[in-house]
Structure 1
């Protein structure tokens, strides 16, 4: 199994400046590489409380501070973006990073960002599909002639710079919709399940649907590739120590959700540990839980939250070190995985 750290770059602490918050994000990526994580992902959101509106800029800075770790977007909201401009940004980043880029694409969510970019519920999925289909061609072809619904047509268009990776691997982020799942299966692309907000069942159902559509489109079942998220992480030597440390962090998160008008599915830490993908407990408990999820998903890659979320710097580093020393070796041994950076 492979492991990513992912941040959506929430910014809710009035005592931390925007500059300092970005510095935390970059420093966490450097820490992730130091500790042996396989990838680091930056989300894309265009509304409060997030400041992740420009992933290629943040990832370019991370690329300059690191040498090995794969750089992910989580997700690139192609439904909101001009695919030509997105291609230019990410082809540039691919070169600057030495070919370490992997995209997770999706339509994005949130009413504010849809309003900002004049995207509607009626056209968001069509925009996502059309943008991806053009982006895919731009990455592979030196000249593109194309016409669509949502941007001006192209006639023998050349786009520069040309990317380093030919082609890049693009994952499709999925939370609730079969539309994104079908798009991934159609093009033979990997799927990354959000697996954060709800119990396991709806995510497992979407992954099963992905594998069904994968075969429907004529792909070898053995080639299907799945990743999955987690709703939070904190490991300690004993489960009680982990719960005691993480409880105020979880309670603060619930309070933030409610302040933003969002009612959480899991209102207590015990319920979240029991029914959600949150990973809080001893190393053995966390490894066993990931293996149970793997039995449903068949995933080869998973993410942990990159941010400390209220932990001290020492606690954050210590729990990530514990993951790499006692949890990751078990999961890498039990769950074989293909290398990152391979594309269809």
Structure 2
């Protein structure tokens, strides 16, 4: 059972003071968070790609590469790379370089992304949303398989027996598929035999179990061994010494972000009752003391089949020292408890 962190490197206004941290400062803070995550024994750290004023990381590979020489073991991944509006050749080259700098610890999490700002920014039409992703994923996988590539598609100039460099340390460079729970994307990942990441940020996480089964059936149908395909989850969360403290610290920024997005997307108002319901045992918020969070992760593994849990922290803007403490508690207290219980449980199966 792997446990790690994801961040979108938010620079939203502080919910208490209204102050906005600079992009530069938040980027430097995230490097410190990655280094700490490695030091406390976490398995993976993911950085999301965005192209908005309230997010600082437009290129996850650059930020991860800044931390790579200061870390030893932790895997470094995008979360996600918005592949539809990017060039697969550049994505492959960037993460091959990250793989070299980190000596084989880079991963790509490819997805459509939940925001659309990158499409007009890079000159793509939203009507081609799905077609772009399918075509570019095909090319990315070809680049991972072969040093020289011949490929033709509808949205990018053809490649005729050209070498793409540098080559990664890992062969092949790992590519995961990020999904918000769309059945079609889950089936695609299974048919391709690619690891799957589910964004479980609402509802009841156990409701994702049927999707994992669909994924595994698709993989088996295509001739892949489902038992060898990892399944990850990405969920919002926060840890403090007590559950009450964790909830009180995490709510203000969570409410602010959820209501900003809610106004953009037509969601209802997010209040404390919504927050408290989501952090219940069956809810999608992993907020509490180490025991509470560990039990929820164990429940997720046993009932949904998740083999990698990634906690998204912070959500919005929180004091850096609070985020660092949450990472420390996840690595030093939560992760060992989860791994021990899962090892015991698997031995009994």
Cα separation, 1, equivalents of 2:299 and 2:269:
21
- Most deviating of 150-159 and 323-332: 323-332
| Residue-by-residue CA offset, 1:252-276 (whole Å, 9 max, x unaligned) | 3344434656526864321111353
Cα separation, 2, equivalents of 1:221 and 1:39:
22
8 Å Cα contact 1:79/1:127 also seen in 2: yes
Q: Does 1:243 align with 2:247?
A: yes
Q: Does 1:101 align with 2:80?
A: no
Cα separation, 2, equivalents of 1:249 and 1:77:
25
Q: Does 1:272 align with 2:298?
A: no
Relative to structure 1, the CA distance from residue 75 to residue 235 in structure 2 (aligned partners, 3 Å threshold; closer, same or farther) is same
8 Å Cα contact 2:279/2:285 also seen in 1: yes
- Length-normalised TM-score, structure 2: 0.87
- Total equivalences in the alignment: 336
8 Å Cα contact 1:225/1:300 also seen in 2: yes
- Most deviating of 250-259 and 46-55: 250-259
Matches within 5 A, 1:143-292: 143-200=148-205, 203-236=208-241, 238-258=242-262, 260=264, 263=267, 267=271, 268-274=274-280, 276-292=283-299
8 Å Cα contact 1:56/1:89 also seen in 2: yes
Cα separation, 1, equivalents of 2:26 and 2:189:
33
- Most deviating of 326-335 and 239-248: 239-248
8 Å Cα contact 1:173/1:191 also seen in 2: yes
Match of 2:45 in 1: 40
Alignment partner of 1:321 out of 325, 328, 344: 328
Cα separation, 1, equivalents of 2:260 and 2:3:
27
Cα separation, 1, equivalents of 2:253 and 2:219:
39
Q: Does 1:12 align with 2:15?
A: no
8 Å Cα contact 2:48/2:79 also seen in 1: yes
Cα separation, 1, equivalents of 2:31 and 2:165:
27
RMSD: 2.4
Match of 2:117 in 1: 112
* Secondary structure class of the residue paired with 1:173: strand
Cα separation, 2, equivalents of 1:285 and 1:300:
19
Alignment partner of 1:31 out of 27, 36, 59: 36
- Most deviating of 70-79 and 276-285: 276-285
Match of 1:341 in 2: none
Q: Does 1:300 align with 2:307?
A: yes
Runs of 4+ in 1 over 4 A off after TM superposition: 258-262, 308-311
Cα separation, 1, equivalents of 2:100 and 2:343:
29
Structure 2: which 5+ runs fail to align? 14-18, 345-349
Q: Does 1:130 align with 2:107?
A: no
Give 1:174 shift: 0.7
Structure 1: which 5+ runs fail to align? 338-344
Cα separation, 1, equivalents of 2:198 and 2:270:
19
8 Å Cα contact 1:257/1:264 also seen in 2: no
Cα separation, 1, equivalents of 2:125 and 2:243:
45
Cα separation, 2, equivalents of 1:307 and 1:247:
11
8 Å Cα contact 1:4/1:37 also seen in 2: yes
- Length-normalised TM-score, structure 1: 0.88
* Secondary structure class of the residue paired with 1:163: coil
- Most deviating of 26-35 and 117-126: 117-126
Cα separation, 2, equivalents of 1:119 and 1:22:
28
Alignment partner of 2:78 out of 53, 73, 77: 73
Give 1:116 shift: 2.3
Relative to structure 1, the CA distance from residue 127 to residue 252 in structure 2 (aligned partners, 3 Å threshold; closer, same or farther) is closer
* Secondary structure class of the residue paired with 1:51: coil
Give 1:217 shift: 1.1
8 Å Cα contact 1:308/1:316 also seen in 2: no
* Secondary structure class of the residue paired with 1:231: strand
